[in-house]
Amino acid sequence: MNPADENTREQTLVARRMEAFAALAEHLAVPNDLATLCAQVLVSLRDDVEAMAVYLVEEDRRLTLLLHEGFRMPPPERAADAWELCGLDPDHAGERNADAVVRIFATGTESPAWVGEHAPALAQVPFGGREPGQRRGVVVFVLRRADHLPSLAALLELVMHRLAQALAREAAPRAGPGAGAAGRIRVLLVDDDQLLAAYVRRILERAGFAFHAAHNAREGFELAISTEPDVILIDKVMPDLDGIKLLRKMRGNDMLSTVPVIMLSGYADETARVAALGAGADDFVVKPFSAKDLVARIEANVRLVRLRHDAVWRQSELLRLRQSQQELRTLLDTVQRVRDDERRRLAREVHDQLGQILTAVKIDLRLLAGRIAAPGEPTPACDILAELNAGLSGVDLAIAAVQDIAALLRPPELEEGGLVAALRWQAAELQRRAGIACSVEFDPTNYVEQSPFVSGELLRICQEALTNVLRHAGATRVLIQVAMRNTSLLVRICDNGTGVPEGRQHDPASLGLKGMHERAASIRARLRVRGRPGLGTVVAIRRRQAQR
């Protein structure tokens, strides 16, 4: 395929996946059950995903099937691990992005029957397990295609995040009669009347609520802080502090400011209602009240608060969606600019070096051909040999130029010796060309060699950082450090130059720094740039290693 056509096809694919990301985030912004979410995912990603299965990790680390969508043949109910499930050897799985959260594997002739015959790849996405008591699992996707892995990984990670949220909601205990204490609506009554407290306790416990009671305002405030109730019932008249003042005190507390409060009062006049509602009460109940009325008001207020929380959550998700869309658009523009810059640089190298050398060789050969074909005395063999030797020298220079251009595209040191060898080569090149003392410190303790893609992106980030040192820093010394810190790979580039200003780091025109951040994001790494005037700049890349 023509490179231009291939580039156009890839841009179209990335743009389409950006649209799918936006549509998927919008569809999944509304809380829904797992089965509905899976169906929405398959509809939104129909061009990339054929089927999906959600597995939970049990205490014995085995996988148990929770649900599946899109399969012609049901996947296994249980498996020892994700490798066995997909029929893969973890040492020879052909993994295309082993260090990413989203793991994508090419399928083969020995793939399990439930995968299907025409699926080119599988993807495994782990989820959960980050919080205490949170369930862990893995989602297995049967892919229709596996092109441009960064955009595909972003889509699948969004799906994993939403499914984990849905699983957490479904695993949470439901409120209502017979539910466990952890899932019931918690009600706090603050009233000095012992008989009323006993009556309310019977009503609410029969309705399935968790009940707490305090017999004065001070005790009620402290109990509200410690129990975090879903609803608070406050008597308007109490001996130590009346209900209105207690309500105002609660509304001034960050933890209690949004908890619904129902004021209980023996006075049914309008003044009492207005005073309570004006102080922040959500409802007003006149004593004596019926059991059904009290329960209905409590449930209505809890339902209203949950609807408000859902509305706030949806609003925040929509805001995140807009931000993600803008970031994706910016990323696409940046990727295109970086590609254009690399093409221009490659074109300059080809024109300025290879083109001039080949032109000179062509001129020498044409002159020699003219001399040989000219009438008269034959050209002496020594002259012909001298011209041929000059042409051969030009060919040698052309070969060397091709090797230099190939090294710019993919340094052989990176292929043969890995990241550290490539960084040492880059440091030597900087020292040879610019006269800047550049060294590499490498701590081999627990070092894990990176995949070719990750190593290439890390090298490009370091090359851009060294280019910035050469152009802007005015430095005389550069130090590159590579080491493992706990479970993370740390690469640092330190110079003694002028130091990058804080404002420059966030300047939209700083395409070099922006490109470094985008490359770091593509390999799930964090990049920080710290500079102080006169004290140099430190570029730090930290990448957490995948847990096998």
Q: What is the pTM of this model?
A: 0.37
The pLDDT value recorded for residue 23 is 66
Mean pLDDT of 385-412: 73
pLDDT (tens digit, 9 = 90+) per residue, 414-430? 767 788 888 888 888 88
Which residue, of 257, 289, 321, is where some domain finishes? 289
Rounded to whole angstroms, the Cα distance separating 193 from 213 reads 10
Residues 103 and 216 in one domain: no
Chain centroid offset of residue 104 CA: 16
Q: Tell whether 328 is covered by a domain.
A: no
Averaged pLDDT score across all residues of the chain: 78
Q: Which domain holds residue 354?
A: 341-407
Tally of domains in the chain: 4
Q: Tell whether 209 is covered by a domain.
A: yes
Which residue, of 172, 196, 216, is where some domain finishes? 172
**DSSP SS3 for 178:** coil
Q: Tell whether 318 is covered by a domain.
A: no
Going by their DSSP bridges, the two strands 103-106 and 121-128 should be labelled as antiparallel
The pLDDT value recorded for residue 128 is 73
Mean pLDDT of 133-149: 80
Looking up residue 252, the CATH number of its domain turns out to be: 3.40.50.2300
Residues 149 and 244 in one domain: no
Residues 116 and 13 in one domain: yes
Residue 417 C-beta-side C-alpha neighbours within 13 Å: 11
Rounded to whole angstroms, the Cα distance separating 370 from 392 reads 18
Q: Tell whether 227 is covered by a domain.
A: yes
Q: Which of 92-101, 160-169, 221-230, 316-325 has the highest mean pLDDT?
A: 221-230
| pLDDT over 50 (residue 177) | no
Residue 114 C-beta-side C-alpha neighbours within 13 Å: 17
Residue 288 C-beta-side C-alpha neighbours within 13 Å: 5
| pLDDT over 80 (residue 187) | yes
Residues 531 and 496 in one domain: yes
Q: What share of the chain is helix, strand, coil (3-state, %, to 5)?
A: 50, 20, 30
Rounded to whole angstroms, the Cα distance separating 209 from 203 reads 9
Residues 354 and 424 in one domain: no
> C-alpha angle with apex 237: 232 to 240, nearest 5 degrees?
90
| pLDDT over 80 (residue 201) | yes
pLDDT (tens digit, 9 = 90+) per residue, 219-274? 888 888 888 888 999 988 887 778 888 888 888 888 888 889 998 888 777 888 88
More confident residue, 483 or 513: 483
**How many residues are given for the chain?**
548
By the 8 A CB rule, do 172 and 133 touch?
no
One-letter identity of residue 38: C
Least confident of 200-204, 387-391, 479-483: 387-391
More confident residue, 60 or 412: 60
Tell me what percent of the residues of the chain surpass a pLDDT of 70.
79
Residues 140 and 219 in one domain: no
Sign of the torsion formed by the C-alpha atoms of 225, 227, 232 and 234:
negative
More confident residue, 96 or 413: 413
pLDDT (tens digit, 9 = 90+) per residue, 282-329? 888 888 888 888 888 898 888 888 888 777 777 777 777 777 777 667
Which residue, of 172, 189, 204, is where some domain finishes? 172
More confident residue, 514 or 121: 121
By the 8 A CB rule, do 216 and 239 touch?
yes
Residues 522 and 540 in one domain: yes
Residues 433 and 452 in one domain: yes
The pLDDT value recorded for residue 352 is 66
Confidence grade of residue 368 (pLDDT, cut at 50, 70, 90): confident
* Alpha-helical regions (H) of 377-508: 381-409, 412-434, 452-468, 502-505
**DSSP SS3 for 104:** strand
Looking up residue 518, the CATH number of its domain turns out to be: 3.30.565.10
Q: Tell whether 138 is covered by a domain.
A: yes
Burial environment of residue 144 by CB neighbours within 10 A (0 to 12, 13 to 18, 19 or more): middle
Q: Tell whether 186 is covered by a domain.
A: yes
Say which residue the tokens 């063999």 belong to: 381
The pLDDT value recorded for residue 1 is 54
The pLDDT value recorded for residue 182 is 43
The pLDDT value recorded for residue 232 is 92
| pLDDT over 70 (residue 4) | no
Residues 193 and 85 in one domain: no
Residues 210 and 359 in one domain: no
The pLDDT value recorded for residue 93 is 47
pLDDT (tens digit, 9 = 90+) per residue, 500-510? 776 565 555 56
Looking up residue 112, the CATH number of its domain turns out to be: 3.30.450.40
The pLDDT value recorded for residue 91 is 54
Residues 451 and 394 in one domain: no
Q: Where are the beta strands (DSSP E) in 131-191?
A: 136-143, 186-190
Q: Tell whether 473 is covered by a domain.
A: yes
Q: Tell whether 295 is covered by a domain.
A: no
Residues 260 and 356 in one domain: no
| pLDDT over 50 (residue 132) | yes
By the 8 A CB rule, do 212 and 221 touch?
no
Least confident of 163-167, 300-304, 521-525: 163-167
